[in-house]
Structure 1
């Protein structure tokens, strides 16, 4: 009987293969050389990785505080920042200690802006926080606001909240982590920032500002994707407000297929005498990284020699004890708040129906008149407030100090 299947493969030994009888002398090199190269490459990579790891300075950090708000707003950590000056942004809110603006809900900190009443705005021409004894600034313009209603001007049309650690927790180099949901809603501005504990090198921005994270509340369609799915972090620095090149030390990071009000994120800062960087959720997801370089920030700014009036632009960051990190070599405190509107450029004129112009003679009134457009967006589910679940601050304790008492003399420690 014929078999059902017969292999048609060439049978072993039926074909002559002379190449197997005589070895090619090049064979050993064609195999060994690549193997040696691969092993050598792995060795070089391992050596460089080890040297890089060894070159990183592992600082020691000491806990300054950690707060999960389970015990309310702890006065040993937080103070209310109460001002009516717009925080150098021309913002439209007065910050208060009212429980409608700053409160604890379900064991979490909530900062929520609310509207003034029409009656209050029509009848109030002066807000004097100094005479009330509540102002937390020593700048008169931050504490006293006078308006002329007949000239179509009004006082701040919105109340909001801002907490700070200025009197209780400051660091000079260290780390900060903030677990928060940011505020959604038109023209809201969630703010997680660090400010200098004293204007050691001069008024803003000469003494610096560290923005851990700022996000607009407008939705993701705002201005080509600059809404609530994007966080911006940066350093502010410069001899004065006319020379302030923050763009050199800035970055943004978008949430993944979401917006920052939809779930909690961790916003982190790491700051040493050599560098500073901000990250979101994990340290490799950096928003920006700045290494402090020789020549310092005055060299980085590449400022012109003089102002338009001919006067010289002077370097505010010179003198004994200053260095590449100056002005970010002094103690800073943490502030958390929700701003509203403003005339500093955070919201571009003419974009998404912005109801005021930065150069308007009455921007607060223009904003207030459009409240039927923007106020409903604050009341949507999950909108209108910043929620903070936990805040932790560490001081780099192998160098630096945790309070101002170690810096009583310019550039020198006690």
Structure 2
């Protein structure tokens, strides 16, 4: 269109108010108390909301359980050298046993550098197949295996001796045999533990009662059971679980699709009870989920805060709490245990083993640290009928069933050691000064 033919429209008249003084304002001429109330109620409600939020924030902050006691460093291990970790004056000792450590584990704990070693400033705990050393046939038949460096005498009460009612000492030969040797026999179904792994502890090295533990670690991938946990130095209140157990973190490496909380979950818990059958762990455990990312993908910091007033376990930050327990009542009361139990076939009154203790009892004694990777077990950590579990806990020989199903679980183990191992960057322990 040329300029000569362009048609121009007349500019529209503006309706913008310019004479504000003459604008009618009826709300000023006929003031109503209701209008004034409606005007001010908005500001009052805003003020109440802000004040209420401030009060809630204050009490939430002041109610956070914090350990305000001064802390003294008990142990710091950055895994700079093998000798600093496992030497005579090292931070850890390797427990060596084949007896399943009370959990019916299918792995033996060795002192081999194949299963635990230090490299590039990190600790590696790596499961391997026993058949790599003995051959597959030896696992199932015709072989006597005596584990090297068995620590039964060092780890058992009274150095492995049983104390009779009259004070007589008898060596626990049966316990020693279970811990230190195995015989494979096809007829009986007895086999040699099909997996070798490691269990490292600070027993006799470092321990604490009340304080803080911090571990930076990466969980392993594969059908296995990694754990960072603590046991009492002395079973002051009796054998497990009477003297307690602190599980800072446990996990399953079975993958995020595993139906019983897989590798994207980590769990913290306390084990305690007046008898092994009455373990109160179901009342003192919880977990944290990393959504769709397994804890084997990267390093995370696992922490324990422990006082006579509370116990807290978390991953990376207190916002990711695994377990927070206020010690506001005795554990025997917390357990709500039955008044009568059966001792064999005879009923008996259940006794409180912590009757002279505090609200923190049995968690009021020195505990030492354990780092381990187990494989399998019959204590229920791997629930029945979950994730194509290749054994039944109460079967005649669950370890043999597991070994026979190697084609099912072994492919879940990465060939890359970095992914198969539990890798620990550092460990720090503090106690109340």
What range describes the TM-score normalised by the shorter chain of this pair? 0.7 to 0.9
The answer to whether structure 1 residue 8 and structure 2 residue 26 are counterparts is no
Where does residue 313 of structure 1 map in the other structure? 350
**Pick aligned residue for 1:87 from 83, 101, 106:** 101
Report the count of equivalent residues: 391
**Pick aligned residue for 2:205 from 146, 168, 171:** 168
**Pick aligned residue for 2:76 from 66, 75, 78:** 66
Unaligned runs of 5+ in 2: 1-7, 161-171
Where does residue 164 of structure 2 map in the other structure? none
Once the two structures are TM-superposed, the CA of residue 171 in structure 1 deviates from its matched residue by 0.8
Q: Distance in 1 between matches of 2:19 and 2:151?
A: 102
Q: Match of 1:223, SS?
A: coil
Where does residue 420 of structure 2 map in the other structure? 384
The answer (yes or no) to whether the contact 2:117–2:124 under 8 Å persists in 1 is yes
Q: Distance in 2 between matches of 1:136 and 1:113?
A: 23
**CA distance change for structure 1 residues 254 and 375 in 2, over 3 Å: closer, same or farther?**
same
**CA distance change for structure 1 residues 303 and 161 in 2, over 3 Å: closer, same or farther?**
same
Q: Distance in 1 between matches of 2:117 and 2:180?
A: 25
The answer (yes or no) to whether the contact 1:377–1:383 under 8 Å persists in 2 is no
Q: Distance in 2 between matches of 1:53 and 1:363?
A: 50
The answer (yes or no) to whether the contact 2:96–2:151 under 8 Å persists in 1 is no
Q: Distance in 1 between matches of 2:327 and 2:151?
A: 41
Where does residue 273 of structure 2 map in the other structure? 238
Q: Match of 1:372, SS?
A: helix
Once the two structures are TM-superposed, the CA of residue 4 in structure 1 deviates from its matched residue by 1.7
Where does residue 349 of structure 1 map in the other structure? 384
**Pick aligned residue for 2:337 from 287, 303, 307:** 303
Where does residue 206 of structure 1 map in the other structure? 242
**CA distance change for structure 1 residues 250 and 54 in 2, over 3 Å: closer, same or farther?**
closer
Where does residue 400 of structure 1 map in the other structure? none
- Cα root mean square deviation, aligned: 2.6
Normalising by structure 1, report the TM-score: 0.86
The answer to whether structure 1 residue 293 and structure 2 residue 362 are counterparts is no
The answer to whether structure 1 residue 260 and structure 2 residue 295 are counterparts is yes
The answer (yes or no) to whether the contact 1:82–1:136 under 8 Å persists in 2 is no
Where does residue 361 of structure 1 map in the other structure? 396
Q: Match of 1:65, SS?
A: strand
The answer (yes or no) to whether the contact 1:135–1:143 under 8 Å persists in 2 is no
Where does residue 90 of structure 2 map in the other structure? 76
**Pick aligned residue for 1:220 from 249, 252, 256:** 256
Once the two structures are TM-superposed, the CA of residue 70 in structure 1 deviates from its matched residue by 1.8
Once the two structures are TM-superposed, the CA of residue 44 in structure 1 deviates from its matched residue by 5.7
**CA distance change for structure 1 residues 43 and 54 in 2, over 3 Å: closer, same or farther?**
same
Q: Distance in 2 between matches of 1:219 and 1:185?
A: 7
Once the two structures are TM-superposed, the CA of residue 174 in structure 1 deviates from its matched residue by 0.8
Rg larger in 1 or in 2? 2
Q: Distance in 1 between matches of 2:298 and 2:182?
A: 40
Normalising by structure 2, report the TM-score: 0.83
Once the two structures are TM-superposed, the CA of residue 16 in structure 1 deviates from its matched residue by 2.4
Where does residue 370 of structure 1 map in the other structure? 405
Task: Report which stretch shifted further, 136-145 or 283-292.
Answer: 136-145
The answer to whether structure 1 residue 332 and structure 2 residue 367 are counterparts is yes
**Pick aligned residue for 2:228 from 175, 180, 192:** 192
The answer (yes or no) to whether the contact 1:179–1:266 under 8 Å persists in 2 is yes
